[in-house]
Structure 1
């Protein structure tokens, strides 16, 4: 008897393909591509900030990260606030004062979950690449709606610091 055993992927619980020109299982997804030149700058929740979020979670695809560029005008920033998701920042342009230290281009900053963000200000303006993703311990995803796609900003004193 030469019956071939079917291999099951331990994570997806789906059959593993024996065809080396196909993905491991039917659950494995292809890459997604976005370019900032194809996206307009949109209003962000804090004054002096705009964003090009090249990926963001949706109702149909809630585990997609918020990933894209945030542009800060000179003199802008954000107050101390907290989040339940995790995120990584990579400073592309400008200098930023965060917790008494100046950070500039090629600096990477990691915020675990849950985390707080110190007050941030910039005198030069600049651009930061943001990647916000579901917290591995909190299981809370980043917030896109009402943060990165606002049509009108709230007054700072009315803006939440909770997430």
Structure 2
């Protein structure tokens, strides 16, 4: 890159990063038993292509069934021990789900915390869902939850 290209680039008015701290929000109810979350960033009318990005906190005994999504996502286990699709996953484990993908059955006896980032599927165009998934007023019976999206 030439000096004039560097100068031009520095003159651009690109938006600054959005910054949030985990302590700025309360834990919200998520659709699966024993799960709460803090999605520090999520799609909105103003920013429809934003990822769901934040923390999942799973209580001892939390679980979710096999289900599928059209968006992509990455998980990074910060605390706890999880059995995901029969495999034991501990802190430092990263999972990358392409699009479309299935989330295998998950169980935790001790609970824990997972950093997640869900983003629009590069091949499917499927977008992560925030409303009525990560901010539920009340959880519905797990048998009534759709597992195909």
Which category of TM-score, normalised to the shorter sequence, fits these structures?
over 0.9
Comparing both chains, which one has the higher relative contact order based on Cα–Cα distances under 8 Å and sequence gaps of 6 or more?
Answer: 2
Total equivalences in the alignment: 145
Which TM-score applies when normalising by structure 2?
0.92
Pairing 1:141–2:130 present: no
Indicate the SS of the match to 2:11: coil
Which TM-score applies when normalising by structure 1?
0.85
In the aligned structure 1, how far is the partner of 2:57 from the partner of 2:34? 8
- Alpha carbon RMSD of aligned pairs, Å? 1.5
Give the structure with higher Rg (CA): 1
Structure 1 moving runs of 4+ over 4 Å? none
Indicate the SS of the match to 2:143: helix
Query: Among residues 21, 30, 33, which one is paired with 2:10 in the alignment?
Result: 21
In the aligned structure 2, how far is the partner of 1:21 from the partner of 1:137? 33
Runs of at least 5 residues in structure 1 that lack an aligned partner in the other structure: 1-15
Give the aligned partner of residue 12 of structure 1.
none
Alpha-carbon shift at residue 20 of structure 1 (Å) = 4.6
Query: Among residues 74, 78, 96, which one is paired with 2:60 in the alignment?
Result: 74
Runs of at least 5 residues in structure 2 that lack an aligned partner in the other structure: none
Pairing 1:159–2:145 present: yes
Higher helix share: 2
Query: Among residues 51, 56, 63, which one is paired with 1:65 in the alignment?
Result: 51
Give the aligned partner of residue 99 of structure 2.
113
